[in-house]
A and B are shown apart, each in its own frame.
Chain A
Amino acid sequence: SQQGEEDPQALSIQEGENATMNCSYKTSINNLQWYRQNSGRGLVHLILIRSNEREKHSGRLRVTLDTSKKSSSLLITASRAADTASYFCATDAGDMRFGAGTRLTVKP
């Protein structure tokens, strides 16, 4: 079964704009991670936020975590066409469960 639910399912923006994706989950977690997937094969880790952290930055990525609302958001600033991919959140409560993902399209 899946743990996280991403929102929106699909997002289309212009290059240079910011993209925000949200993730909601159901149970207590140790950490929450965001991954990126190109062309339906292996996933690449983007960023990990621990349950006691509220915000984390990595380059153009900003992740927030609200454990009281059981939700997280991923912000990609100044998007590029190369950011086009599917983005997944994964909750770690001993195992690691993924949501259905957000399909991001960045138009040049």
Chain B
Amino acid sequence: GAGVSQSPSNKVTEKGKDVELRCDPISGHTALYWYRQSLGQGLEFLIYFQGNSAPDKSGLPSDRFSAERTGGSVSTLTIQRTQQEDSAVYLCASSLDSPYTEAFFGQGTRLTVV
């Protein structure tokens, strides 16, 4: 596709359920980032992929959060046993494998845990 695609756009789930969020990066982009943004706040770094490997998982808030990337393309962020504090917009971005290129963002998934 032409841009970064995230699905679903919105997700309402019950507390305790597992959710999967998907990110389709721009074709050819080897770097992929996940962020979380609560209302009116900044972007909280979650995880960064270079190809299929994640050099930095330090931002994942707890062991309920996991992420994988397959084929150097699609990534999924999984949240197990969701809690109300997990409610936020989850943003994905991708960029070329260079420190001197811009990142392109998807429109995010708004997760609401009720």
Contacts and interface: CB of A to CB of B under 8 A. Distances in A.
Interface string B11-53: 0000000000000000000000101010111111100100000
B42 A1 contact: no
A1 B45 contact: yes
A94 interface: yes
A98 B35 contact: yes
Interface in B51-108: 55-56, 58-59, 89, 91, 93, 95, 99-108
B48 A98 contact: no
B89 A98 contact: no
Interface stretch (A39-47, A61-69, A72-80): A39-47
B44 A40 contact: no
A99 B100 contact: no
A68 B3 CA distance: 36
* Interface size range of chain B in the complex: 20 to 34
A42 B108 contact: yes
Contact of A30 (B35, B45, B99): B99
A33 B104 CA distance: 12
Given A40-B39, A41-B108, A42-B108, A31 B100 contact: yes
Given A41-B107, A43-B91, A45-B103, A88 B33 contact: no
Interface of B: 4, 33, 35, 37, 39-45, 48, 55-56, 58-59, 89, 91, 93, 95, 99-108
